[in-house]
Amino acid sequence: MFKILFICHGNICRSVAAEMVLRQMARERGIGWVAADSAAATREELGNDIYPPMKKALREAGYSCEPHAARQTARADYSRYNLLVGMDTENLFDMKRIYGGDPDGKISLLRSWAGEPGQEIDDPWYTRDFRGALQQIEAGCAGLLDWAAAREGGVAAR
């Protein structure tokens, strides 16, 4: 199983949306060997469900929203996951602090998987553009699945 952990500030908007999007995209492509999970860089939203406007954007875009309780990432996650994918540079900073660095080169930004290195997923908590953030997440997840499928010798079809 190839395991991916998505990280954002509170694990109620961007990272959990990426988890739900990647899971559904993988199912639709018949890629059963990729697992997605999500967590927060902070403790602010521990135990909370998906933020209602993000849940609405996901449902309107055709994604199912599984039960969720925000959790904070921990140092042990670095060895549990094959990739750790942040939404913005502040997340990357927090992740490296929590994990004690990135000795295996597992940490990246989600938009880099969409061919946009260094670009962040806009934070809809501030922009209020949940659909726009979701579109950025979809592009990153599609690119990530293309890469994963090619890496495993599979065919990546969009």
Q: What is the pLDDT of residues 51-82, one digit of tens each?
A: 999 999 999 999 999 899 999 999 999 999 99
Active-site position among 88, 123, 141, 146: 123
For residue 157, pLDDT beyond 50: no
Does 158 score more than 70 pLDDT?
no
Total domains in the chain come to 1
Q: What are the pLDDT digits (tens) for 81-125?
A: 999 999 999 999 999 999 999 999 999 999 999 999 999 999 999
* Residue 102, in any domain of the structure: yes
Q: Which of 13, 14, 37, 94 is catalytic?
A: 14
Question: What percent of the chain clears pLDDT 90, i.e. is strictly above it?
Answer: 92
Residue 6, pLDDT above cutoff 70: yes
Question: Which residues constitute the domain of residue 67?
Answer: 2-151
- Residue 158 domain flag: no
**Residue 111 is assigned to a structural domain of this protein:** yes
Measured from the Cβ of residue 59, the count of other Cβ atoms closer than 10 Å reads 13
Active site residue 123: yes
Q: Does any domain span residue 49? A: yes
What secondary structure does DSSP assign to 44-99, as a single string?
Answer: TTTT----HHHHHHHHHTT---------B--TTHHHH-SEEEESSHHHHHHHHHHH
Is 14 one of the annotated active-site residues of the chain?
yes
Q: Based on the residue annotation, tell me whether 131 is a catalytic residue of this protein.
A: no
The CATH number of the domain where 133 resides is what? Answer: 3.40.50.2300
